[in-house]
Chains A and B, each alone.
Chain A
Amino acid sequence: MVVKQETKSMTGNDAASYAALFAKPDVIAAYPITPQTTIVENLSRFVDEGKLDAEFVIVESEHSALAACMGAAWSGVRTFTATSSQGLLYMAENVFWTGYGRLPIIMPVVNRCLAPGWNIWPDFQDSMAFRDAGWIQMYTKNNQEVFDTTLQAFKITESKDIALPSMPCLDGFVISHTTGQVDLPDPEDAFEFVGPYDDPVIELDVENPWAYGSMTGPVQYSKNRRDLMVAMERAKKKIVDVHKEFEERFGRSYGNGLVEPYGDDEADLTLVTLGTIGDEAHEAIDRLKAEGHNVNALRVRTFRPFPVEDIVEFAKKNHKLVVIDRAASFGHDGPLRIEVEAVLKRHNVDTSVSGKIMGLGGEDVPYSAIIDLVKKELKE
């Protein structure tokens, strides 16, 4: 049965901080960076007002923000931080250390492009740089999904059979600073869904000392990385299961949790997207269909682990995929397009793939631009 919820209006960053508040993390580390800052500002207020009983570590850099969370995670408590852009890059070695170390940390990334020049608007270049860091990455389309995904992330990440950190991603400003509708459950219902973190993935113990991250030879090292790959594979089912459980309790869903299709199962052209462009694509599809075009869309919600099977199944029924990337792999193409093409080739699906890189540095991507792209692609 779906629990009672209250409709509120709040920014995407507010939504992320409410999800954290309801999950009751024990240790939060905070360092300001636009456009993430209001998430940790909200949390500092919750702690100061006594709404949240957490240790709040006001660190001197992002490198230390994640490091403090790592220390807390090794101690067996629930941890939370958030960052953006240059801040994410500054914590780089710890991002990999967390992923490869299988530390259960939740860190929303409010996507913002990278300097130079100084620009605080969104693209996915920051989080895409950490595609291979061993984190679960889920890209959200609106404020509601930020809340829902962040809450789900705790449950996925802290499962003993998964033990992978999570990076819910939200477009800077488009979501982070834009007020929208969010249905908030009671804090108790939200906490009941996440559950207490009383059976930690890892916990240092003076009675039974172990060393973590000592020198490791190639045999054990490669086994550890293979285990990570297997855990990522397991995470696909976990994401679907947690998403389903969430739907039963709160009445909201995003496809199966890995991908969210929109429109008919079969079409002449399919838009493949990430993040808020996926939401904008819905408007474009509706208008194109009204004009008589046979088009649909697939929003990749979970980018890591990559939903290979879902993309293959969807592509098999369709004829032409047009991938919109909000990041670039310089010297090649958009990262989502590269991966979609690779997956189809490997699974012998001959659906054609093309794509366009749009929205870098906050360049607006309105439905009209998407419609123009689709019409051009339909002619080719």
Chain B
Amino acid sequence: MPVTQKDLMIKPKDALLKGHFACAGCGSALAFRHAIGSVADKAVLVVPASCASVYQGSGKGVAFNVPTINTAFAASDAVASGISRALKKKGKDDLKVIVWGGDGSAADIGIATEIGACDRQENILHVMYSNNVYGNTGGQRSGDTMIGARTATTPKGNTTPRKMVPFIMMANNARYVATASAAFLEDFVEKFQKALSFEGFKFIQIDISCPPNWRADSAHSIEISRLGVQTGIWPLFEWDRETNTAILSRPGKKYGDKANRKPISDWTSLQGRFRGITDEELIALEKDTERQWNFLRKFM
């Protein structure tokens, strides 16, 4: 059943309670509230070392209102596999096992574990919320960092292209793969629900703003995410193994055509991490963006 704005306003259960530790303007906490809230009575969360292990709160004041297992950085998809198998053995496989973690774990240290779970077709959903940086350690480059981004470990600007984790998961025979944006929550929740309706390994990468590490105004959090889609930086699509076809999602559809896109500088100019970006870097960033679109078009 498609999710409407009204469904989002009336949350079946508030999955993120007051007192969480997320930064002002955190796109991840926002996405969490809507997605996890939509399945709160059935969700079992597995959280690798990530901002989510911090913003869930601490001690007796934990703000995640669903069972939450914190794991080592690279362990989450394997822990989720064990939970999913145990629930199956107990006949409780109506519960939804969801990994909720950042790009550090999903794109880098945990990617072998993730591909392992995908390869075994474990019945789990991995949501990679992506701020293209190791956020909670203070903003170091990850495999998901874009060209030109100034991070704590690339102070002169990152030079390497972004690791496209959704494509890696497609290549490894995931059941369902999608991208989403914190600026388009209805689209995200719809994909989230759809993913959970499938048996097997599902993967969603959601682009979220990170005001502290992006050195952006928290008031611009959603606007930056929206521009990420409108400039073509972040293609919104979903892919289904059964059809092996990628379909562009409604909010991002027209940006498949380069002519409809806003200039990438609209997006970079709102973020301090791109301060000082050179024309060459901008061109390289644009080229890498096009590389992703070209890859995606092979499935369209």
Contacts and interface: CB of A to CB of B under 8 A. Distances in A.
Contacts of B80: 71
Nearest to B81: A68
A214 B86 CA distance: 22
Nearest to B54: A215
A1 interface: no
B115 A60 contact: yes
Nearest to A91: B75
A319 B64 CA distance: 60
Contacts of A73: 82
Nearest to A53: B89
Interface stretch (A74-82, A248-256, A289-297): A74-82
B292 interface: no
A346 B25 CA distance: 57
B42 to A, nearest CB: 7
B86 A97 contact: no
A104 to B, nearest CB: 13
B85 A210 contact: no
B58 A75 contact: no
Interface in B76-103: 76-90, 95
Given A57-B82, A93-B72, A213-B71, A75 B112 contact: no
A58 B120 contact: yes
Contact of B53 (A59, A206, A215): A215
Interface residues of B, number: 45
A213 B73 CA distance: 13
Contact of B86 (A75, A94, A209, A212): A75
A63 interface: yes
B270 interface: no
A55 B85 contact: yes
Nearest to A54: B89
A72 B66 contact: no
Interface string B250-264: 000000000000000
Interface in B2-48: 41-44, 46
B158 interface: no
Contacts of A7: none
B39 to A, nearest CB: 10
27 contacts: A26-B89, A27-B86, A58-B120, A60-B113, A60-B115, A60-B119, A61-B113, A63-B75, A67-B71, A67-B75, A67-B76, A67-B79, A67-B82, A68-B81, A71-B46, A71-B81, A71-B83, A72-B82, A74-B83, A76-B90, A77-B90, A94-B75, A97-B75, A209-B66, A211-B64, A214-B70, A215-B54
A70 interface: yes
A216 B72 contact: no
Contacts of A76: 86, 90
B137 to A, nearest CB: 14
A107 interface: no
Contacts of B86: 26-27, 55, 71-72, 75-77, 79
Contacts of B195: none
Contacts of B87: 75
Given A60-B116, A209-B68, A213-B71, A71 B59 contact: no
Contacts, number: 150
B113 A71 contact: no
B53 A214 contact: yes
A29 interface: yes
Given A27-B85, A55-B86, A63 B74 contact: yes
B67 interface: yes
B246 interface: no
A64 B85 contact: no
B44 A211 contact: no
Given A206-B41, A211-B56, A216-B58, A27 B82 contact: yes
Interface in A199-220: 204-206, 209-217, 220
A212 B95 contact: no
B82 A71 contact: yes
B78 A97 contact: no
4 A-B pairs closest in CB distance? A71-B82, A60-B116, A67-B78, A75-B86
Contacts of B56: 211, 214
A69 interface: yes
A204 B43 contact: no
B284 interface: no
B59 A220 contact: yes
A212 B64 CA distance: 11
B157 to A, nearest CB: 33
A144 B79 CA distance: 33
Of the listed residues A29, A71, A204, A205, the one surrounded by the most CB atoms of chain B closer than 10 A to its CB is A71
Nearest to A208: B67
Given A26-B89, A67-B71, A93-B75, 16 more contacts: A27-B82, A60-B116, A61-B112, A65-B78, A67-B75, A67-B113, A68-B85, A71-B79, A71-B81, A72-B86, A74-B79, A74-B82, A204-B67, A206-B44, A212-B69, A214-B53
Contacts of B113: 60-61, 63-64, 67
Contact of B79 (A58, A61, A70, A210): A70
Contacts of A209: 64-68
A212 to B, nearest CB: 5
Interface in B180-219: none
Contact of A214 (B41, B62, B65, B85): B62
Contacts of B71: 67, 70, 97, 213
B57 A70 contact: no
A59 to B, nearest CB: 6
Given A71-B86, A206-B44, A64 B78 contact: yes
A67 B115 CA distance: 15
Contacts of A61: 112-113, 116
Contact of A69 (B54, B77, B82): B82
